[in-house]
Structure 1
Amino acid sequence: MTAADRVPPQHRVPVHRRAKVHRLPAIVDNLPGAVYRTQPTRYLIEHLDWMRRAGRADSTIKARTMALHFLALWLHGDPFDATSQQLDAWQSTLKPLIKMRHQTSLIRPYYRFVQDRGYRLDNPAALLPLPPAPRRLPRPISEERLMAAVAAARPRVLRWLLLAGWSGLRAAEIAGLTVESFAADGTGQVWARVMGKGSKEREVPVPAWCWELIEPALPASGPCWAREKGTGPVTAQHVSQLCNDYLRSQGMSDTFHALRHRAATETLHATGGDLRAVQDLLGHSNLGTLHVYTRVRPGTLAGAVAALGRPTDELR
């Protein structure tokens, strides 16, 4: 007796109504996100291949694949055939606005692609509104809490705190470091070559006193940080979770990413407000995103407005 035979007749799905399993051509087996493509979406394979050739990040390709997959589930059909009215109805189900913005920004390029290629005459996503990105205040960890955190951290976590708080590295960038990523210039300054978001490579300085604490623990070659349990290098999630758990254990509500905010804020003040220096440190393509990372010290702002010109005559 098979598993299907054990299902009561009244609960069996008629053969003609069962979902078909769509096999993808072998040429796309190596495309990021291939494992997620369980719903048929016409021209998705071509679009993903175009994204790869255009240099889009693997994470972006996977996210778009997943977004179209869930859109297909909502539509109960192929997203290629969606109408503008259907996409309006789908977008109305996305809450909060930050989710609406994220999901909308993921599916719109697919429809632009199929229209540009002549596969569709119209673009049903063209009039979907894109909510503005939320403007949040930067939340750098305070100097007092940061110094307390590094003073009590065990060596493994300490090195990650230093790279985030003084060199502004993301958890993924720290996890991806190899011994070969570090090199000293003619002055002895150590630089770390990291691969940031969007496969953008940059070099960031590592303070000498930080390097003195980091270098002794590095292996002769290869990945800098091996897993404490299992084999292979650590992942971004491992770095982030371990550091977040440590900060919480110290009674701090700050996240590990707040150390990157701190590095940006302190670099801004140390350079006299040089936004390009902060941009190079963080690896952001757009200067406009720096407001999320850099915070003007209240004392600086208060001193600035107090120094503004004032009337010479007495006011009543």
Structure 2
Amino acid sequence: MTDSSIVKHVSYLKRRNSQESTITHRRGQLVRLSQFLGKPLLDATEEDLERWQCSLRVCASSVQTYSSHVSAFYAWAHDTGLLDRDVARDLVMPRIKRRLPRPIPEKDLEVALITSQYDAQLYGWFLLAGYCGLRASEISKVARGDFREADNGGAFLTVHGKGGKERIVRVPPDVFDELQMFMVRQGCIFRRPSDGKAFTPNGVTRAASAHLKGVGLPYTIHTLRHRFATKLADLGADPRDIQEAMGHEDLATTSIYMGGNVRRGAKSVDKLGAGLRTMNKRRPKRSLAQSEEHCQ
């Protein structure tokens, strides 16, 4: 039987208009915690939660995610008066190493695009990920009404991002031309052939990964999103503009793409030293022997 406090918490999340995915993951994690404890969640102690966390056999990133769901539940229980104290307040949150971007190389992106043209939807996903920076979850939600055509070609797309946050991204004219066949549809433009319903985020991820693996490419659709950010950095785009286009909460996340951009940094250093040759022309040349004689 489901713990009554989980039912109350889920009801609270729905009233807050939380994302359906957040509600599903929160409920699932709390049910698993209840099963582990073998008693109502509101009867748990700090030691119980520490024991649960130590029992997890997943990567640090997953431990952090699971712990965040549990912490959010107990903070809510304390705020609403169901608990006298927040027993999860001191729950340890693992430090996660910053991940470096892994953009798909241009030659492999070309292979992905050429080999996916037989499937218009798959081809469209790769274009939106690689040239507009959309996540798989965002691609699954793209609707005809989200596009606003621009007078000079292309369009601006309202992207439904993480946590219900929206952003506007530019769709280049060449990309928008390739998506024209979907503009006759109302609602979500990408639909499953089997039943005509919109693709789920997992459906987009699985289908894209299967195709890439099938043509011998060790990448996911998310690496095309990484390509979008690093190419913008290559072109000298303002970090704030890249942050906005990627839908990053924190500029520090965007800076990962800038920090890994060695080529752009090299060009800046070259410009810094470009005046040295002109400067040297203004002074007489010296041989190594003359220089050593001068030092003595």
Give me the TM-score of the superposition, normalised by structure 2.
0.83
2:35 is equivalent to residue 70 of structure 1:
no
**Unpaired segments ≥5 residues, structure 1:** 1-20, 22-38
Report how far residue 78 of structure 1 moved. Answer: 0.7
2:44 alignment partner AA: A
1:275 alignment partner AA: P
Q: Give a deviation string over 1:66-116, Cα, whole Å, max 9, x none.
A: 111111101101111001111111111123322221111110121112222
Aligned counterparts of 2:41 and 2:159: Cα–Cα separation in 1: 37
Select the structure that is richer in helix.
Answer: 2
8 A contact 2:13–2:23 mirrored in 1: yes
2:83 alignment partner AA: R
Match of residue 279 from structure 2: none
Q: Give a deviation string over 1:45-73, Cα, whole Å, max 9, x none.
A: 33333333334322222212111111110
Going from structure 1 to structure 2, the CA distance change for 1:69 and 1:193 (only over 3 Å counts) comes to same
Going from structure 1 to structure 2, the CA distance change for 1:59 and 1:233 (only over 3 Å counts) comes to closer
The alignment-based identity, stated in percent, is 31
Report how far residue 166 of structure 1 moved. Answer: 0.1
Match of residue 127 from structure 1: 90
Match of residue 248 from structure 2: 284
Aligned counterparts of 1:267 and 1:63: Cα–Cα separation in 2: 33
Give me the TM-score of the superposition, normalised by structure 1.
0.78
Deviates more, 1:63-72 or 1:290-299: 290-299
Match of 1:50, SS state, is helix
Aligned counterparts of 1:292 and 1:257: Cα–Cα separation in 2: 15
Which residue among 210, 214, 217 is the counterpart of 2:175? Answer: 210
Match of residue 158 from structure 1: 123
2:93 is equivalent to residue 147 of structure 1:
no
Report how far residue 234 of structure 1 moved. Answer: 2.3
Q: Mapping of 1:296-311 within 5 angstroms?
A: 296-302=260-266
Match of residue 112 from structure 1: 75
Q: Mapping of 1:89-100 within 5 angstroms?
A: 89-95=51-57, 96-100=59-63
2:147 is equivalent to residue 182 of structure 1:
yes
Going from structure 1 to structure 2, the CA distance change for 1:293 and 1:40 (only over 3 Å counts) comes to farther
Report how far residue 308 of structure 1 moved. Answer: 7.2
Aligned counterparts of 1:91 and 1:109: Cα–Cα separation in 2: 15
Aligned counterparts of 1:222 and 1:292: Cα–Cα separation in 2: 35
User: Which runs of at least 4 in structure 1 moved beyond 4 Å after TM superposition?
Assistant: 291-295, 302-310
- How many equivalent pairs are there? 275
8 A contact 1:164–1:263 mirrored in 2: yes
Match of residue 218 from structure 2: 253
2:159 is equivalent to residue 194 of structure 1:
yes
**Unpaired segments ≥5 residues, structure 2:** 277-290
Aligned counterparts of 2:151 and 2:106: Cα–Cα separation in 1: 31
2:230 is equivalent to residue 265 of structure 1:
yes
Going from structure 1 to structure 2, the CA distance change for 1:294 and 1:73 (only over 3 Å counts) comes to farther
Match of residue 287 from structure 2: none
Deviates more, 1:52-61 or 1:89-98: 52-61
1:184 alignment partner AA: E
Match of 1:133, SS state, is coil
